[in-house]
Structure 1
């Protein structure tokens, strides 16, 4: 494995070196770096031209400029990168740090959401092949996959921000709309449950009534103006998560595991409730400290009372603690939602930027969190749903292939529960090809959100690349290339290592 890694890194370095030469030449020949100044009517135009020539070293041969960049970039090996200055004389290092921070926030969240949702729905559609649920998810996946990213982003701005903000002036839902959404929810629920007609009809009817009542209450109370969740909501989420994760990891027939998970849920609730007074104005350290305490409590409970399935119980308890934490987080955000809408002028969902200019709620922790979250909302949804489509299809295809293997039939013939067959035998092997896709997508998204960032006004890696290209300035472009190229190499190496971990045959 070590020799393979060294060989892979050497080949990747040579490829990056050759690609950097080509990109540098293409960039400096993409236009006239002095074009805007030549058309300027400023009385000191010639001085500005001379200054830009000096800053960008335009009188030097291209190879001199390239090796100057390469010398600065090579200092990254000792942790002292120097990507030079852009045509305005600004240090590209500083611009790169800011751009990476913005892009990574988008990439990390959208990638996590896309993986979780895509893998879940991909597995479910594979298990229920050719069912109504499979057809619905397939249709949605192809719709997102075929829709251009800029079209989807514009639609999100129009309906997810502008129209939604207008609706918040009087957040009531007509009865016809309520019935329509309840019917759609019922159709989705019955397709997800599956089974015979009677079971699906019961699930659909229950889902329809639940959605109908919930929407009527939300509309009549104008819940979106001042949303309330409360500790009852947190308790329901925590208990439901415990039941869900036990069913996935251990099976509900394991009563000891279920009791352990419910006990872990209770301990998580006690931990967060005990600190509820401090949570009105917390710090990130406090929040993650409470999360760590809840996770450790779950691990201890699972280890002590999990029985023969203690490892699976511990994992179920860990995810239950995380779900409880997210419910607590959502509860406090909801508490401050009304205050936030007043601060931003009753239009809480923004269409551009990474933050509200001159934000007046900067001293209140939760108002800052909401401001960041609302600015992340639309671009994250845009990137998530586009990636979700591919993850769903790849996971479904991989899962179907694995489910047809001989060892799966052998596991079933031994009488193993279907949950065990899916989670322990099929799922892990189905994830082997997905690791490459995840790694590649993560690297691509770091530099591939150019369109999304442009539409939503985020000053990320896409904006850095575009600004350099527009100005025929190779320094920002090459910094962009260095980061994205390095990310591609690193993530592919991670994928190879994960291959060896997931599939022991590769280690032989």
Structure 2
């Protein structure tokens, strides 16, 4: 922590000196012909403390920042006299929700693709993931953003006004999904053929059905699909942890789904009405009930059963939330006929039910989040693949196989856990890099976030917004590295000693 604090301090001095020497903050006022020119110059000098040496201005800023340790930050004012604290809170809220979501998605998708590519080394799926990773990594951020604005917003808004999917597009979608799933699952030729044909047929029929009933404008899952999704999550989690032969863990997951169905009817009113407080309370109740079920029914594996039950309950809660969101999509379309916005992070003065408000809050995140996710996705997938391949070749993995352990246990308990250690380091640095990289993305999509705050300070030779940007990004880098160190100890018990 001491070294991190010293790095932050030296970095702040360096950045402050660069900021104040990047131009003349009074240039526009020196050239103005306004009658109150002298008063405007005096006001700006007072707001920016230009009447004192630079090191004294920096000291004033540093003293204000040091008050953050007692939760009383004073980041000063910008050149127009506006409080930087207020500007920073608004900007940080927009940027952090964007960057946090992009980081989570990139980790989940990138690590999953990297693991599958390593397991299916030199397969068609591996080649496709490798090609896509290099392609995404090479694409300019601003160009990807412009393409998404054209195809993900403008053309989608035109399509959703009267949505329909042609037979050709349906067939192409079905074949692509079938080929992708087949390459992931693998197996002999007969298994691949059956998987591909069954998946292609199912997707073709599903898209055709959705198109015929107008599902694109009036979507919903229904309790049946919610239950199926929760059951699938329980089966997958059981398979990945102990295997389906462990009936106690499997029964714990199934009992959790049954408890979720009962809770669905008990809290139906709260679910429909929504609200972040109520949703959080219901989720905590579901987690507590799931933990009890796993502990009671788990037997000797009650620890694993508890976590599987909690994961199943989380999947059930996520499916219920998704169902409610889909049910309010039509209401959101009535308020916003062109739902995907290309500019801004939200509709001003938007009023409506809770779930409709979530749509307004969420659709603005889609395009910029996709841009940042694609950027990070490439590195996560490649690093994970490389780390997994290196781990799979280690002696302890060969020993685990020689002891007769199943491939599932070898991959999840021996290979994956050790392969994630270097990935943790990448996550720590990537989060801070994404905040810095979001400057371009926010500029393209017109977000009033940290990027806009930084660029405004840079253009106006105003160090206060620039230093506020540095405080957030620098602190994020330090905190993420600290979390990485803690995660190391969790992944590898030897590090705890």
Given the alignment, which residue of 450, 455, 465 partners 1:476?
A: 465
Shift of residue 408, structure 1, vs aligned partner: 0.5
Structure 1: how far apart are the matches of 2:146 and 2:359?
A: 22
Shift of residue 39, structure 1, vs aligned partner: 4.1
Shift of residue 14, structure 1, vs aligned partner: 2.0
User: Is residue 186–residue 204 contact of structure 1 (8 Å, CA) maintained in 2?
Assistant: yes
User: Is residue 150–residue 455 contact of structure 1 (8 Å, CA) maintained in 2?
Assistant: yes
Structure 2: how far apart are the matches of 1:232 and 1:373?
A: 25
Q: What whole-Å deviation, never above 9, does each CA across 1:95-121 have from its counterpart, x for those lacking one?
A: 111111111111221111111111111
Shift of residue 41, structure 1, vs aligned partner: 4.5
SS in 1 for 2:76: coil
Structure 2: how far apart are the matches of 1:122 and 1:182?
A: 24
2:275 is matched with 283
SS in 2 for 1:222: coil
Shift of residue 409, structure 1, vs aligned partner: 0.5
Structure 2: how far apart are the matches of 1:27 and 1:409?
A: 56
Is 1:141–2:130 an aligned residue pair?
no
Structure 2: how far apart are the matches of 1:433 and 1:16?
A: 24
Shift of residue 498, structure 1, vs aligned partner: 2.1
SS in 2 for 1:173: coil
Is 1:10–2:2 an aligned residue pair?
yes
User: Is residue 153–residue 342 contact of structure 2 (8 Å, CA) maintained in 1?
Assistant: yes
2:145 is matched with 153
Given the alignment, which residue of 337, 344, 347 partners 2:338?
A: 347
Structure 1: how far apart are the matches of 2:146 and 2:413?
A: 42
SS in 2 for 1:277: helix
Structure 2: how far apart are the matches of 1:507 and 1:258?
A: 32
Shift of residue 152, structure 1, vs aligned partner: 1.2
User: Is residue 248–residue 305 contact of structure 2 (8 Å, CA) maintained in 1?
Assistant: no
User: Is residue 219–residue 329 contact of structure 2 (8 Å, CA) maintained in 1?
Assistant: yes
Q: What whole-Å deviation, never above 9, does each CA across 1:266-301 have from its counterpart, x for those lacking one?
A: 111221232112322122121112111221222111
Given the alignment, which residue of 360, 367, 372 partners 1:383?
A: 372
Is 1:359–2:350 an aligned residue pair?
yes
Is 1:243–2:235 an aligned residue pair?
yes
2:154 is matched with 162
Given the alignment, which residue of 405, 409, 415 partners 2:404?
A: 415
Structure 2: how far apart are the matches of 1:390 and 1:444?
A: 13
Structure 2: how far apart are the matches of 1:142 and 1:316?
A: 35
Shift of residue 171, structure 1, vs aligned partner: 0.4
Shift of residue 423, structure 1, vs aligned partner: 1.0
Q: TM-score when scaled to structure 2?
A: 0.97
User: Is residue 37–residue 45 contact of structure 1 (8 Å, CA) maintained in 2?
Assistant: yes
User: Is residue 220–residue 324 contact of structure 2 (8 Å, CA) maintained in 1?
Assistant: no
1:427 is matched with 416
Structure 2: how far apart are the matches of 1:133 and 1:308?
A: 39
2:328 is matched with 336
Shift of residue 251, structure 1, vs aligned partner: 1.0
CA 328–493 in structure 1, closer or farther in 2 if over 3 Å, else same? same
Structure 1: how far apart are the matches of 2:496 and 2:214?
A: 59
1:179 is matched with 171
User: Is residue 351–residue 357 contact of structure 2 (8 Å, CA) maintained in 1?
Assistant: no
Structure 1, unmatched stretches of 5+, are 1-8
Structure 2: how far apart are the matches of 1:190 and 1:435?
A: 30
Structure 2: how far apart are the matches of 1:355 and 1:24?
A: 33
Structure 2: how far apart are the matches of 1:360 and 1:97?
A: 22
Shift of residue 56, structure 1, vs aligned partner: 1.2
2:491 is matched with 502
Q: CA-atom RMSD, angstroms?
A: 1.5
Structure 2: how far apart are the matches of 1:43 and 1:160?
A: 49
Of stretches 44-53 and 406-415 in structure 1, the one that deviates more from structure 2 is 44-53
Shift of residue 502, structure 1, vs aligned partner: 2.0
Of stretches 364-373 and 221-230 in structure 1, the one that deviates more from structure 2 is 221-230
1:122 is matched with 114
2:292 is matched with 300
User: Is residue 32–residue 472 contact of structure 1 (8 Å, CA) maintained in 2?
Assistant: yes
Given the alignment, which residue of 45, 48, 54 partners 1:53?
A: 45
User: Is residue 261–residue 317 contact of structure 1 (8 Å, CA) maintained in 2?
Assistant: yes
Structure 2: how far apart are the matches of 1:39 and 1:450?
A: 30
Q: TM-score when scaled to structure 1?
A: 0.95
SS in 2 for 1:449: helix
User: Is residue 250–residue 313 contact of structure 1 (8 Å, CA) maintained in 2?
Assistant: no
Aligned residues: 497
Shift of residue 217, structure 1, vs aligned partner: 1.5
2:28 is matched with 36
Structure 2, unmatched stretches of 5+, are none
Structure 2: how far apart are the matches of 1:156 and 1:383?
A: 12
Given the alignment, which residue of 356, 359, 363 partners 1:370?
A: 359
Given the alignment, which residue of 191, 201, 205 partners 2:193?
A: 201
Given the alignment, which residue of 188, 199, 212 partners 2:204?
A: 212
